[in-house]
């Protein structure tokens, strides 16, 4: 491909936000350059979402085989080869990355491999495999985030791992100590426990996955502890020491926790300090986040920021959606970003998925809210599949019936959250769900039942209180 030095749109960062923005801008007839210093697909494809979910898929299949007797199936002694699991993970990642390059090139996008830095508001210098000086009518910054290191317990990539380096293990630890009970820590705990490791989670806050609310946190903790994961909250880790053949984690005021390896999962650092933003005049907050308006434009006209560096949600699908909005805005449309319906999924066992308000946050925001919650145990499909743990619940505004939020925990929660997200994004009412025919027998019926419960009209659970009027009838 003939490479130009002047483009309508230059995108810095080839992760799930950047490459989507580049494709969207190109589809609208813009000439586009995409600058990426490492691997196309960014953290999500190469060191995050895809490799971890590939390993989790392996572990989930292992779990199902091990419980095959419950289904009347005898398979004999079960074993697994962890090295082969990691090889499959690498093949999946490489295949997707190769396909992504072909997709980008098929859209006529020029790919520059190197580190992109602003030298001025409309100029980006690329240093690396493809040195270049690019002129841009509009620029989209999508540089993402990276693992946050802690001075008190630095990574050694051998016994003290980050969420990136632990994916390169060729052997499993006997006992893994995880510092941090957020999404990454809980997913890793669930994965390595399914693979037979002893696992301990150490969390400084009173709750694991605290942003998801007290109820979901409590129920997930109970489920993880049921699987044999030790969880300790409100502990302060002071350091990690190497022992003869393992590690010892020092905890303030308590005895050390010993293990073979440690995973430090205490957050991520925003990549905004080496992009030359100061030369472009772009304002950066103290946290490293770039303030943007509703159109994702920075304080400098023509320069947009998307993904983790906006400080909104550190989610790949959020970055992709922001990429579409930014691409539309820098190619002539005027589109605002809407954050009301952003789904979040935690791929633990059981899975957790949420969108919109929790009941507590809805009330704090001034809504007169109530919740309808339906347990998976009462679903025919759950009984048939022997996947009984979990629930789906809908948070509803009593006055209007509008669906404000939803939470689901259990089998296929990652799939189920899509219906609730669609409902919230389109400001649907609880009757919009309860009046919709849901196929039987499916787990999706849990939304129908939760909607009926939110309206005090249960079908497959006893009534909560006698003779109450529904929202549609003007009660509550």
Q: Identify the active-site residue in 317, 438, 440, 460.
A: 440
For residue 254, give Cα distances in angstroms to 159, 179, 203, 237, 434.
Answer: 22, 15, 14, 10, 51
Residue 440 annotated as catalytic: yes
Give the C-alpha separation, 439 to 134, whole Å. Answer: 54
Instruction: Kindly give, in sequence order, each residue whose CB lies less than 8 Å from that of residue 350, ignoring residues fewer than 6 positions away.
Output: 220, 223, 389, 390, 409, 410, 411, 413
Are the beta carbons of 222 and 193 closer than 8 angstroms?
no
Active site residues: 440
């Amino acid at each position: 491909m003939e490479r130009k030095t002047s483009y309508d749109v230059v995108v810095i960062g080839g992760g799930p936000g950047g490459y989507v923005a580049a494709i969207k801008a190109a589809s609208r007839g813009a000439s586009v350059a995409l600058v990426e210093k490492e691997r196309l697909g960014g953290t999500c494809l190469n060191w995050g979402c895809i490799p971890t979910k590939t390993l989790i898929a392996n572990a989930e299949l292992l779990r199902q085989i091990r419980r095959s007797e419950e289904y009347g199936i005898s398979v004999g002694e079960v074993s697994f080869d962890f090295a082969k699991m990691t090889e499959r993970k690498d093949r999946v990642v490489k295949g997707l990355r190769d396909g992504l390059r072909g997709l980008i090139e098929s859209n006529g996008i020029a790919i520059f491999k190197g580190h992109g830095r602003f030298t001025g508001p409309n100029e980006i210098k690329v240093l690396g495999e493809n040195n270049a000086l690019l002129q841009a009518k509009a620029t989209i910054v999508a540089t993402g985030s990276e693992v946050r290191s802690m001075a008190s317990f630095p990574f050694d990539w051998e016994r003290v791992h980050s969420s990136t380096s632990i994916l390169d293990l060729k052997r499993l630890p006997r006992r893994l100590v995880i510092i941090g009970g957020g999404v990454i820590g809980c997913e890793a705990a669930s994965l390595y426990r399914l693979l037979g490791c002893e696992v301990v989670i150490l969390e400084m806050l009173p709750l694991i996955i605290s942003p998801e609310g007290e109820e979901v946190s409590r129920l997930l903790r109970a489920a993880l502890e049921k699987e044999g994961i030790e969880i300790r909250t409100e502990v302060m880790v002071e350091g990690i020491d190497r022992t003869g053949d393992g590690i010892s984690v020092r905890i303030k005021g308590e005895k050390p926790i010993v293990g073979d390896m440690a995973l430090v999962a205490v957050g991520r650092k925003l990549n905004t300090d080496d992009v030359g933003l100061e030369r472009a005049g772009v304002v950066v907050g103290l946290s490293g986040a770039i303030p943007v308006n509703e159109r994702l434009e920075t304080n400098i006209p023509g320069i947009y920021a998307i993904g983790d560096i906006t400080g909104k949600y550190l989610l790949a699908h959020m970055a992709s959606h922001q990429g579409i909005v930014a691409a539309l805005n820098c190619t002539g449309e005027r589109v605002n970003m809407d954050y009301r319906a952003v789904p979040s999924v935690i791929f633990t066992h059981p899975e957790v998925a949420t969108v919109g308000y929790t009941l507590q946050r809805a009330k704090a925001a001034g809504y007169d809210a109530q919740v309808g919650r339906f347990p998976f145990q009462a679903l025919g499909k759950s009984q048939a599949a022997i996947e009984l743990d979990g629930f789906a619940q809908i948070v509803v505004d009593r006055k209007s019936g509008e669906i404000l939020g939803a939470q689901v925990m259990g089998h296929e929660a990652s799939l189920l959250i899509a219906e609730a997200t669609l409902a919230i994004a389109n400001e649907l009412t609880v009757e919009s769900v309860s009046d919709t025919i849901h196929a039987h027998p499916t787990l999706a019926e849990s939304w129908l039942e939760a909607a009926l419960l939110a309206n005090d009209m249960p079908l497959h659970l006893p009534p909560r209180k006698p003779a109450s009027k529904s929202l549609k009838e003007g009660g509550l």
